[in-house]
């Protein structure tokens, strides 16, 4: 039986503070690279009373509405895990983020805290767009921001909106272009 291909899952998080636990992940978006028809989005009920107003403002989400209406973290993360695990019929999910440290920290912590396991494995590790770009191009860290990559590859019409679902789809498209650029 042939080995299934890797599926890069572009992940984006919106949070109301700098770290999980004292602060909350309030939105999670995921999109499969090279498969724009496969995406996932959920908002999450905050897990604490604490938040950084400036961090919350980035997402534009209404915290009071999230407290009232968003699914509990257990429910949201279970749905996310089902979605990722459902992809195993067509490939092997690999976490992808930009930066992987930020998004990965929240996603792995939430999966472990609320489900006791992560569909991305015990370490929650994955691909970091900036590191991948640096290795591919030899550029320094300072020239590896997503905006720099989009400019270098002449990608237009891909706004970064701070909506986790939209930004996951943006990241998926940027990574597609980076991989395509290897053959140039």
Alpha carbon distance 76, 27 (integer Å): 9
Alpha carbon distance 168, 165 (integer Å): 5
Cβ neighbours around 53 below 10 Å, total: 9
* DSSP states along 81-139: HHHHHHGGGT-EEEEEETTHHHHHHHHHHHHHHHHSS-TT-SS--EEEHHHHHHHHH--
In terms of DSSP bridges, do strands 126-128 and 92-97 run parallel, antiparallel, or are they unpaired? parallel
108, 160, 162, 163: which is the annotated catalytic residue?
162
**Is 162 considered catalytic here?**
yes
Q: Which residues are catalytic?
A: 162
């Amino acid at each position: 039986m042939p080995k299934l291909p890797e599926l890069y899952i572009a992940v984006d998080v919106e949070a109301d503070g700098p770290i999980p636990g004292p602060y909350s992940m309030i939105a999670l978006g995921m999109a499969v690279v090279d498969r724009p028809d496969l995406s996932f989005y959920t908002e999450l009920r905050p897990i604490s009373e604490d938040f950084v107003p400036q961090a919350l403002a980035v997402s534009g989400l209404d915290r009071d509405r999230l407290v009232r209406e968003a699914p509990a973290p257990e429910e949201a993360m279970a749905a996310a895990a089902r979605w990722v695990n459902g992809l195993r019929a067509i490939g092997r999910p690999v976490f992808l983020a930009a930066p992987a440290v930020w998004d990965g920290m929240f996603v792995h912590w939430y999966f472990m805290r609320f489900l006791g396991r992560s569909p991305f494995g015990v370490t929650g590790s994955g691909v970091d767009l900036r590191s991948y770009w640096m290795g591919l191009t030899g550029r320094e860290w300072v020239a590896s921001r997503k905006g720099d990559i989009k400019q270098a590859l002449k990608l237009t019409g891909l706004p970064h909106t701070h909506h986790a679902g939209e930004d996951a789809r943006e990241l998926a498209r940027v990574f597609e272009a980076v991989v395509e650029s290897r053959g140039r």
